[in-house]
Amino acid sequence: MQNFLKKLIPFLMLGFMIVVLIGGLILLSYLLIFGVIVGLILFCVSWLKDKFFPSKEVSKTTPKSGRTLDHDEFK
């Protein structure tokens, strides 16, 4: 009986690992599907917001006069 259990345990562990691997892949796929659904909802909300409430046009800033410092000046 002892010898039989020693031969059986590796197969049981292999079966357990296969079940855990398949279960993990299923959970990962559900997480991926949930993330796609949430991302799609956020995208649609953002698109509708931009479509019905366009952002105000930002005035262009005038370039400021000043001095440009190059790294060669500090050698």
Per-residue pLDDT of the chain (75 residues; tens, 9 = 90+): 888 888 899 999 999 999 999 999 999 999 999 999 999 999 999 999 999 988 877 667 777 777 777 777 666
Q: What is the DSSP letter of 53?
A: S
Quote the pTM value. 0.57
- Residue 14 included in any domain: yes
pLDDT for position 45: 96
Is 67 contained in some domain? no
Flag whether 16 is in a domain: yes
> Is residue 70 included in any domain, yes or no?
no
49 is a domain residue? yes
Query: Does residue 74 lie in a domain region?
Result: no
Domain of 39? 2-54
User: Domain total for the chain?
Assistant: 1
pLDDT number for residue 25? 97
Asked if the structure places residue 71 within a domain, the reply is no
Assign 36 to helix, strand or coil: helix
Spell out a b/e string for 30-39, using b for 16 or more CB atoms within 10 Å of the CB, else e. Answer: eeeeeeeeee
C-alpha span between 31 and 35 (Å, rounded): 6
Residue 66: inside a domain? no
Residue 10's SS3 state is helix
3 state DSSP class of 67: coil
